[in-house]
Structure 1
C-alpha cells in the first residue's frame, strides 16, 4: 500500500470532523444568525434543523445493545453469510435499528413528524379528487395563492409524495403511527437494494464490506421518521433495476433487458415526481449504465421515466411549470435569510453528521483508490454521488435541512466505507453507531 493510501482514511476523517466542528461552533462564537429554524428562540443547533434536548426512552436499551453486538459481530457476519441470508439479516437488523432509534422518543418518534400539519399526511387525508389536486397544485404553491397556499412540504415538492400518502389513506393506513411504520418498513429495504446493485454490477465483495455501514447508518435517525426515506428507497430500487437491465443488456441485448429497464424508468420517473432535486440522480443512473455496459437499457428507461412525467402533466401537473413557481416561493421564504456564505459548507457538515463522519474517511480511500480497477464499481458509484451532492449544494436550493433532503444520496456515499482497511472497520463502525446514538439522545432533530 502506498503512503497516500495509508493516510487517506485518517485525512478524510480529520477533515470531516474539522468541518463539523466549524459548522457547529462558528455561528454562536461570532454571533452569526444562520437561521436553521423559523423560530430560533426555541433553540438551534446549526448545521442541523434542531436544537439540544437530552432524553432517553424505550428504544435506548435495544439501540445500545444492538450497537454493542454490531461492533463485535457485524463485520465478520457480513463476510460469512450466504448472500440470501445476508439480505435477510440486513433487513431485520436494519429494521430493529430504525425502530430502536425512533422509539427513544416513544411511539411519537415514529408518528410525530408525519402527523405535523406541514407534512404530507394531513393534506393526503383531505384529498377527494385527484384530478382537482393535480390541476390546482401549481396555483397553490405561492405564498399569496388566492385559494390558499400549500403547507411547506407540499409546496416544496411535486405531488408524487402526496399521492403515496393518499394511497396509504385509501388502504386504511393513514393514521400517523400506521403511516410511520410503513415508512420504516420501506426505509429498511434501502441497504438491501444498494448492496444488490453493487453485486449485480460485479463486486459482491464490495457489497458485503459495505453492508454493516449501510445497515447501521447514522442516517437511520432521519430515515425512520421522514417521508424522504420513501424517496431514497424509490431511487435505490430504481438504480437496482437499472443495474439488472444494464447487465442483462450487456449479456444478451435489448430483448432480455427491457422489462428491468421499464421498471427502472417507472421508479426513477416516480422519484422525479417526488422531489425537484431527484433529477440529479440521473448522474448516478449514467454511472450504473456505464458500469453495467448496457447502454441498450438507456432509451427504454428514459422513455419509461418520461411516461411518468407526461402522465402527471396530462393529469394537470407539469413539472417544468411548477419548478419556477417553487423557486420563487423558496426565495420568498426563510431561505433568503439563510446566508449562502455559511450554508455552502454548512450543508456538507450536516450531511457528514447525518451520514456519519466515517463517510469522510471513506471518501479519502475512494480518492486514493481511484485508479484501482478491482474497486472500480465502488469508486464510480461514490464519485457519482459526490457529483450529485456538489450540484445540489451549488444550486443553493437546499440551504439547511439537507440532513433530511439529501437522504437519497447518502447510501451511495456510504459505499466508500467498504474500501476502508480491515483495521478501520470495527472502530469505524463503532464511530458511526456512536454518532447515531449521540444525535438521537442529545438532539431534537425536527424530523
Structure 2
C-alpha cells in the first residue's frame, strides 16, 4: 500500500468525480429511462423465449394483441405529436396560467381522440360497450337499491346472476356512475366514451393546479407537456379507470386547497368535499384505497393537518351512505379476493408479474417515469427542506409509493396499463426535474412510445 499522500488524494478525487457523475441529472435521467426500457423488453421477450405461461394474450406483459395497423386517426395522431413536440415546452412556459389550464385540457383531449381514432369510431364507441364492461349491465338495472343489496352475493363466479368481470371486480360506485350516464341519455358506448375522455382530459390541469396551490407553479409548467401527452392516453381514452383517475385528481386539488387556506370554514368545506371525492374513489375501485398515500403526501407537502378531520368526515359519509343502502365495502373485498384467485389470477405467476407490472407501467406512463422517480429520489433532502422542490418530490414519490404498494399486494397481476392510471400523473410530476438538455428528447420518447404502441398492438381498453 502506497504511503504517498498525493496518491490518496488522487484516488479520493477520482472517487468524488465518479460519484458526482452518477448523481448528475443527465446520468440519472439516462439510467432511469434505460432501466425501465430494459424491464419492458425483458418482460416481453422472456416469456416467449422460455415459453412461460403468463396469461396476457400474445403481447406480454400488456393485455393486448399484436396487430400492426394504421387507421383514420393515424395522420392526426402524428400531426398532433409533432405539434406538441414543437410548441409544448414554449406554451407551458409562457402562456398565462388560466390559458395554460384550458389549453392543456384541449390538447389532452385531442391527443386521446387522435390515438383512439386509429381504430376509427369503433376505437371510441366499442370499448365501453364490450360485454365485460359496465354499460351493458347498467342498462339492465331498474332497481338500484336491490342491486346494492345483492351486489356482494353476485360477485362469486358460481353465484346465480354473477356480475360480468369489471362489475364484479369493482365496488358498485363504478356501476352506479355508468347507470347515471345511461339515465341522462349518455348510455351509448360512444357518448360514454366521449364523457370519459373529457374527464380524463382534465387530469393534467388538476395535477398542475395541485402543484400551483402548494407553491410549485414553475414545476407544474415544466411537467405540463408530459402530463398532457404520453402513452397513457391509449388507455385513458374510454377506460373506466380514466374516469376514476379524474375523480382522484380533483379530490387532490380540493385537499391541497383545504390545506393552504387560512380561513376556517372554507377549509372545512374544501376538506369535506375532498373527502367525499376520495371516498367515492374507494367505491369506484378497491385499489384506490391507496390514494390515502397521496392524500398524506399533500398534507405533508403543505405542512398542514387541519383539513384531515374534515376529509375523513367526508369519506366516512360516503361509506355510511353505501352501508345504509346495503353495501359494506369490508364485506365485499374478501369475496372479491376469492373470485380474483378463482379466476385467471391464479394462473398468473406472482414471480413474473411482481416485476413485469413495472414494465407495464412503463408502457402506460412511458419510459420517462424511470427518470422521474430517479431524479425525485436524488432530491430526498428536499423533503426536509420543504419549498416548491419539496412539494414536487413528495407528490412524485407518493405516486410511486402507490404503484409499489399495489404491485406488492398481488391484487394487480397484469392489466395495470389501465388499473394504475390514477397513479400516472403523480409519478410524472417528477419530469419537472429533467435536465434542460434532455427535456425535448424525453418528450419525443413519450410521444413516440404512444404512437408505436397504438399502431402495433390492439388493447380492448
TM range (shorter): over 0.9
Once the two structures are TM-superposed, the CA of residue 122 in structure 1 deviates from its matched residue by: 0.4
Once the two structures are TM-superposed, the CA of residue 69 in structure 1 deviates from its matched residue by: 1.2
Once the two structures are TM-superposed, the CA of residue 59 in structure 1 deviates from its matched residue by: 1.1
Aligned equivalent of 1:52, options 66, 70, 73? 66
Does the CA contact (< 8 Å) of 1:5 and 1:368 recur in 2? no
Could you say which residue in structure 2 is the equivalent of 1:163?
176
Structure 1: distance between partners of 2:284 and 2:155: 15
Structure 1: distance between partners of 2:328 and 2:239: 25
For residues 69-80 of structure 1, what are the structure 2 equivalents within 5 Å? 69-80=83-94
Give 5+ residue unaligned stretches, structure 1: 38-43
Question: What SS class does the counterpart of residue 381 from structure 2 fall into?
Answer: coil
Could you say which residue in structure 2 is the equivalent of 1:314?
324
Once the two structures are TM-superposed, the CA of residue 94 in structure 1 deviates from its matched residue by: 0.8
Aligned equivalent of 2:44, options 17, 24, 30? 24
Structure 2: distance between partners of 1:293 and 1:15: 34
> Is 1:133 equivalent to 2:138 in the alignment?
no
Aligned equivalent of 2:113, options 85, 93, 99? 99
CA RMSD in angstroms comes to 1.1
Mean CA deviation greater in 181-190 or 373-382 = 373-382
Once the two structures are TM-superposed, the CA of residue 20 in structure 1 deviates from its matched residue by: 0.6
Aligned equivalent of 1:15, options 35, 46, 52? 35
Question: What SS class does the counterpart of residue 277 from structure 1 fall into?
Answer: helix
Structure 1: distance between partners of 2:340 and 2:320: 25
Does the CA contact (< 8 Å) of 1:201 and 1:377 recur in 2? yes
Mean CA deviation greater in 5-14 or 272-281 = 5-14
Does the CA contact (< 8 Å) of 1:281 and 1:388 recur in 2? yes
Once the two structures are TM-superposed, the CA of residue 345 in structure 1 deviates from its matched residue by: 0.3
Does the CA contact (< 8 Å) of 2:47 and 2:60 recur in 1? yes
Does the CA contact (< 8 Å) of 2:226 and 2:428 recur in 1? yes
> Is 1:398 equivalent to 2:412 in the alignment?
yes
> Is 1:426 equivalent to 2:440 in the alignment?
yes
Could you say which residue in structure 1 is the equivalent of 2:10?
none
Once the two structures are TM-superposed, the CA of residue 2 in structure 1 deviates from its matched residue by: 4.2
Does the CA contact (< 8 Å) of 1:366 and 1:419 recur in 2? yes
Once the two structures are TM-superposed, the CA of residue 67 in structure 1 deviates from its matched residue by: 0.6
Aligned equivalent of 1:414, options 428, 443, 455? 428
Does the CA contact (< 8 Å) of 2:302 and 2:391 recur in 1? no
Could you say which residue in structure 1 is the equivalent of 2:242?
229
Could you say which residue in structure 1 is the equivalent of 2:283?
273
Aligned equivalent of 2:272, options 262, 267, 273? 262
Structure 2: distance between partners of 1:201 and 1:11: 30
Could you say which residue in structure 2 is the equivalent of 1:41?
none
Aligned equivalent of 2:360, options 344, 350, 366? 350
Give runs of ≥4 in structure 1 deviating > 4 Å.
none
Does the CA contact (< 8 Å) of 1:233 and 1:408 recur in 2? yes
Larger radius of gyration between Structure 1 and Structure 2: 2
Once the two structures are TM-superposed, the CA of residue 225 in structure 1 deviates from its matched residue by: 2.2
> Is 1:217 equivalent to 2:236 in the alignment?
no
Structure 1: distance between partners of 2:158 and 2:274: 38
> Is 1:364 equivalent to 2:383 in the alignment?
no
Question: What SS class does the counterpart of residue 353 from structure 2 fall into?
Answer: helix
Could you say which residue in structure 2 is the equivalent of 1:389?
403
Give deviations 1:257-286, integer Å, cap 9, x for gaps.
011111101100000000000011101001
Question: What SS class does the counterpart of residue 422 from structure 2 fall into?
Answer: helix
Could you say which residue in structure 1 is the equivalent of 2:11?
none
For residues 115-134 of structure 1, what are the structure 2 equivalents within 5 Å? 115-134=129-148
> Is 1:245 equivalent to 2:258 in the alignment?
yes
Once the two structures are TM-superposed, the CA of residue 293 in structure 1 deviates from its matched residue by: 2.3
Once the two structures are TM-superposed, the CA of residue 70 in structure 1 deviates from its matched residue by: 1.2
Structure 2: distance between partners of 1:420 and 1:76: 16
Structure 2: distance between partners of 1:324 and 1:387: 23
TM-score (norm 2): 0.93
Could you say which residue in structure 2 is the equivalent of 1:304?
314
Once the two structures are TM-superposed, the CA of residue 157 in structure 1 deviates from its matched residue by: 0.3
Question: What SS class does the counterpart of residue 80 from structure 2 fall into?
Answer: helix
Structure 2: distance between partners of 1:170 and 1:21: 45
Question: What SS class does the counterpart of residue 444 from structure 1 fall into?
Answer: strand
Give deviations 1:218-258, integer Å, cap 9, x for gaps.
1000000201001000100000000000001xx34x33301
Structure 2: distance between partners of 1:242 and 1:326: 30
Once the two structures are TM-superposed, the CA of residue 58 in structure 1 deviates from its matched residue by: 1.4
TM-score (norm 1): 0.96
Does the CA contact (< 8 Å) of 2:255 and 2:295 recur in 1? yes
> Is 1:435 equivalent to 2:449 in the alignment?
yes
Structure 2: distance between partners of 1:239 and 1:113: 28
Does the CA contact (< 8 Å) of 1:246 and 1:289 recur in 2? yes
Structure 2: distance between partners of 1:424 and 1:289: 32
